[in-house]
Amino acid sequence: MDKKTSKKSSRKSSRKSSRKGSRKRKQIIGKLCPKNKDKNDIYTLGNPFTNATNEIYECANNPNILIKKIQKPKVDNSQINNFNIENIKKEFELAKFCSDIKVSPHIHYTTLCNDDDNFIGYIVMDKIKGTIINSKKELDYYFNTIYYILNLLLISGIQYNDYNINNFIVENGTDNVYIIDFEDATKLTMYESMSEFGLTLRFSKMEIKNMLLESIYNNQMYRI
């Protein structure tokens, strides 16, 4: 084989390899939301996470990550559709904020998909190796930490409204408590934050504890 022939063949092989590489790269883009063509969308839905009350999935390509799926139906009403989109975006924002102040699992990625029938949001987060509080004794031990987190969110302009024990995870080997699920949380306006109402949790400390305790008893009933 002469030099010219070898150069041509090497060029062809390099082109082929570069095409193959580009094809491979394209395959990993947009796994959760292909239409968005986002290069950061590298996460794949795995099996449903059975211990969750919401639609949570394991991540097929990373065992240390969970993916929350938020789905809102499209309707023939632009106001409702806009409300649903903003609600998903609000949950993204609050989850990221609480991740930044380290009271929630670390958020790796969020994306909003617009398919034919639904608006679908995905929150990709660290999987906390921990447990849910499942007794009054445990709640007595961790309640002050939970109450501190709720007040920390409040002074940051977030009114947390879902007092379900499943929304609080105790990390294994530590006393760290993480709060999750911000679908029902409210972002306070500047006026509300400055008012007496804004700086007060919607329920008293005892009422919050009783609601958490009731959800523990409900969990125990479902387990029987």
Classified by CATH at the fold level, domain 130-223 comes out as Transferase(Phosphotransferase); domain 1 (1.10.510)
Q: What is the pLDDT of residue 51?
A: 61
Percent of the chain with pLDDT over 70: 78
131-152 b/e (C-beta count within 10 Å ≥ 16 → b): ebbeeeeebeebbeebeebbee
Q: What is the pLDDT of residue 121?
A: 96
69 near 121, Cβ under 8 Å? yes
- Please give the average per-residue pLDDT across 203-207, as a whole number: 93
Q: What is the pLDDT of residues 106-163, one digit of tens each?
A: 999 999 998 889 999 999 999 999 999 999 999 999 999 999 999 999 989 999 999 9
Classified by CATH at the fold level, domain 34-126 comes out as Phosphorylase Kinase; domain 1 (3.30.200)
Q: What is the pLDDT of residue 188?
A: 85
The residue among 171 and 2 whose pLDDT is bigger is 171
Tokens of 223: 């387990």
Domain with CATH 3.30.200 in the chain: 34-126
Q: What is the pLDDT of residues 90-109, one digit of tens each?
A: 999 999 999 999 999 999 99
Give the residues across from 113 on adjacent strands.
Answer: 120
Q: pTM here?
A: 0.80
- Report the alpha-carbon distance of residue 126 to residue 108 in Å, rounded: 7
103 near 44, Cβ under 8 Å? no
Q: Is the dihedral of CA 185, 67, 168, 94 positive or negative?
A: negative
Domain with CATH 1.10.510 in the chain: 130-223
